[in-house]
Structure 1
Amino acid sequence: MSEHFDTVVIGGGQAGLAMGYHLSRARRSFVILDENPRTGDSWRTRWDSLRLFTPARYDALPGSRYPAAPWSYPSREEFANYLSSYAQTFHLPVRNNRRVTRLSHNGNSFTIETDGQNLAADNVVVAPGWDRKPKVPAFADQLSPDIRQLTAGTYKGPRDLAAGPVLVVGAGNSGADVALELASTHKVYFSGRHPGQIPWPIDAVAARPLTLAVFFAFSHIVNLNTPAGRKARPHILAHSGPLVRVKDRDLVRAGVERVPRTEGAKDGRPQLADGRTLEITNVIWCTGFRPDLAWIDLPVTGPDGEPKQVRGVAKPQGLYFLGATFQQSLASSMVNGVGRDAAFIARHIAARAPRPANALGNAAATVRPEGSAAPQ
């Protein structure tokens, strides 16, 4: 007989852990399934020099403070270690090396098939990370085979590139980080629609009150409850949010050359919107990602492959998604914003099927008081 839980959370990254925290506070029986060997490994596989583009004061999950100077920028390894310690501190029931191969519904409950065991659940929260499959344009296949092509997910560092110029396609925060890093070793062209930027250094002492106001706006103003948020959402989904840490002037000083959008290929070379072709030897596609939901055996995705959901609530009843870009606000896909969306889903689960505290079983977690620090 398969194990049965009130809720199964699929994905053990920051979204899944935030969900676990709120389910524990709601006294629910749950388990978190993570396909990685260690909690935090999804961050350990990103490019070597990656640092979060938000300061540490915005990089904590609910119930904790990030264990670093508030205006420092954690590295990928530091943040991965924080996620591991967060799960341990709050005794979250994470099961590693559990890859989900199929999610279905038998009319009474959900069936979660893994490569090791099947589980049953009344509720399922799908939080596997929205950066699973890179969005690479179809014309990439028309580029010459002598051009080395990488994505933001496969790029690890300058050593991955061939000698010669590099075109970074995608002008969001990841693209800006990669372009700035490569400028010291390569001629870099930076292509894409400018998403705007926070115009001041966000960690500058004099500007910190403005930075606090901006991040407040990301959560509480630029969201689905306001006209401004609803107007901004389509643009952000089509492109990206504004540049936060890296600024235009940083790219100019480093010698990065901004060029128009890359719209096709001609004679094996990338062609820009102004008709020019670029003689380059490398392309890095920082053009975003989409989720990999092919394992969900339920009619939950639209024509674009994105799940059909409202604030994370989907159909059939009891199915939820967490961690999507602008799920509720501009902050939804940021570390400091996912906890708010997780709390909303936890309340929805509790309202749908209240369960007494003595129904916890041995799969639920024990949380420390709000505000306690999780050690790194």
Structure 2
Amino acid sequence: MDTNEIETVIIGAGQAGLAAGYHLQRRGRPFVILDANSRTGDNWRRQWDTLQLYSPAQYDNLPGLPFPAPKWTFPTKDEVGDYLEAYAHHFDLPIVLGTRVRSLERHGDQCVITTDGDIYRCDNVVVATGTFGRTPYVPAIADRLDPTILQLHSSEYRRPGQLREGPVLVVGASHSGTDVAHEVGQTHPTILAGRDCGQIPPRLDSRAMHLLFPVVHFAWQHILTRRTPIGRKQLPHIRFHGGPMLRVKRADLAVRGVERVTSRVEEVRDGRPVVDGTPRDVANVVWATGFRQVYDWIDIPVFGEDGYPRELRGVVDEAPGLYFAGLSFQYAFSSMLIAGAGRDAEYVVDHLVARRASEKIAAAD
């Protein structure tokens, strides 16, 4: 293995990693972005076929480059992937694709990153694996279901044609679960189980939302933050229980004939999932149950019992030089949006550059 020395390594070329690269480039700092995909944006391209963003194109910009779509349209997952790829080319960001990071360790004042090809020694690491770098969470009861039942996590779901004939149980009723249940409800008898996460009443493409969305977006950016009491109250709900229904409404599920059950699925009898006290004969289960933060490849003890790093706005005080970008609610509700990635990354880079400057001053003294 070759050893490369560079000031900063960014792990992950999604929106958070690219935004961090943009801000480092603007400040003239040397860095490289490592990503396991063969193309920038592939994490988005692998989502289900009909996925669209929940925010209009005018709010889907990374810093320095507008999203190339009419402002009140909702980009598809492929359009997002292509935008991220175009962004990387536009700013000529130094990305090494096809490179999977195997471990991150601390050796003295430096971090050592081992990939499946080379080793990188650096002063700073920005872990930008974000939402799509997490491990899909499936409840333990999944192992007790009859093997004839097809099981997919929502990250594996692409289209209704993947599913077997017969009823579908979708477990998890945040925006992803409701979207999937609504789609498969066209072709399969469908049950949606999970707590009601609420809904935003206006249609995303309605005239009312044209007026309301700027207000909602402001709240997501500036009110629901880790600095406000209401934001701190919402943080665990967003991180561990999912957000409200956005595109699909309760009425839409009813029109499709989706059976809505708000109790949890926690039991299996005779190989069948128990829903609201009754075993159900289903042919498919889609687990829209979110993701777990798994950082077992990072050998630096900065993680809490919930799996998240002990950070504030991506800065880890316990390990100078270690940063995170793209975390759910990293600073605000908007952190999970593309537009939120830019602000979060800028804060991280500002801290990184300021820390390096203060170290140089201390060394000169």
Instruction: Please indicate the TM-score interval, normalised by the length of the shorter structure.
Output: over 0.9
Structure 2 unmatched ranges of 5 or more: 359-365
- Indicate whether 1:222 and 2:262 are aligned: no
Q: Which residue of the other structure, out of 330, 347, 351, is the alignment partner of 2:350? A: 347
Please give the secondary structure, in 1, of the residue aligned with 2:112.
strand
Please give the secondary structure, in 2, of the residue aligned with 1:71.
coil
Query: How much does 1:271 deviate?
Result: 1.5
Q: Deviations over 1:115-170 (max 9, x none)?
A: 11111111000011333311111111111111110001111111211110001111
Instruction: Give the Cα separation in 1 of the matches to 2:101 and 2:78.
Output: 25
Instruction: Give the Cα separation in 1 of the matches to 2:336 and 2:171.
Output: 21
- Indicate whether 1:308 and 2:307 are aligned: no
Q: Deviations over 1:293-318 (max 9, x none)?
A: 22112212223332222221123111
- Indicate whether 1:125 and 2:126 are aligned: yes
Counterpart of 1:366?
Answer: none
Counterpart of 1:9?
Answer: 10
Instruction: Give the Cα separation in 1 of the matches to 2:206 and 2:195.
Output: 27
Amino acid at match of 2:222: H
Instruction: Give the Cα separation in 1 of the matches to 2:232 and 2:305.
Output: 21
Counterpart of 2:167?
Answer: 165
Q: Which residues in structure 2 correspond to 1:236-251 (within 5 Å)?
A: 236-251=238-253
TM-score by length of 2: 0.93
Please give the secondary structure, in 2, of the residue aligned with 1:179.
helix
Q: Which residue of the other structure, out of 136, 139, 148, is the alignment partner of 1:137? A: 139
The 8 Å contact of residues 104 and 111 in structure 1, kept in 2 or not, is answered as yes
Q: Deviations over 1:86-141 (max 9, x none)?
A: 00111111110111111111102111111111111110000113333111111111
The 8 Å contact of residues 54 and 204 in structure 2, kept in 1 or not, is answered as no
Instruction: Give the Cα separation in 2 of the matches to 1:48 and 1:225.
Output: 37
Q: Which residue of the other structure, out of 172, 184, 189, is the alignment partner of 1:187? A: 189
Q: Which residue of the other structure, out of 163, 183, 203, is the alignment partner of 2:205? A: 203
Amino acid at match of 1:9: I
- Indicate whether 1:335 and 2:334 are aligned: no
Instruction: Give the Cα separation in 1 of the matches to 2:265 and 2:66.
Output: 41
Q: Which residues in structure 2 correspond to 1:9-28 (within 5 Å)?
A: 9-28=10-29
Counterpart of 2:300?
Answer: 298
Quick check: which one's helix share is greater? 2
| Runs of at least 4 residues off by over 3 Å | none
Q: Deviations over 1:241-269 (max 9, x none)?
A: 11222211222222211113222212211
Amino acid at match of 1:127: A
Amino acid at match of 2:354: A
Please give the secondary structure, in 2, of the residue aligned with 1:354.
helix
Counterpart of 1:49?
Answer: 50
- Cα RMSD for the two superposed structures: 1.5
Please give the secondary structure, in 1, of the residue aligned with 2:278.
coil
Query: How much does 1:189 deviate?
Result: 0.6
The 8 Å contact of residues 202 and 208 in structure 2, kept in 1 or not, is answered as no
The 8 Å contact of residues 130 and 328 in structure 2, kept in 1 or not, is answered as no
Instruction: Give the Cα separation in 2 of the matches to 1:341 and 1:168.
Output: 33
Query: How much does 1:60 deviate?
Result: 1.5
Query: How much does 1:176 deviate?
Result: 1.3
Q: Which residue of the other structure, out of 307, 322, 327, is the alignment partner of 1:324? A: 327
**Number of residue pairs matched by the alignment:** 354
Q: Which residues in structure 2 correspond to 1:31-46 (within 5 Å)?
A: 31-46=32-47
Instruction: Give the Cα separation in 2 of the matches to 1:293 and 1:262.
Output: 27
Instruction: Give the Cα separation in 2 of the matches to 1:81 and 1:134.
Output: 24
Counterpart of 2:106?
Answer: 105
Q: Mean alpha-carbon deviation: is it higher for 47-56 or for 219-228? A: 47-56
Q: Mean alpha-carbon deviation: is it higher for 218-227 or for 309-318? A: 309-318
Structure 1 unmatched ranges of 5 or more: 356-376
The 8 Å contact of residues 218 and 331 in structure 1, kept in 2 or not, is answered as yes
Q: Mean alpha-carbon deviation: is it higher for 205-214 or for 79-88? A: 205-214
Q: Which has the higher contact order (CA 8 A, sep 6+)?
A: 1
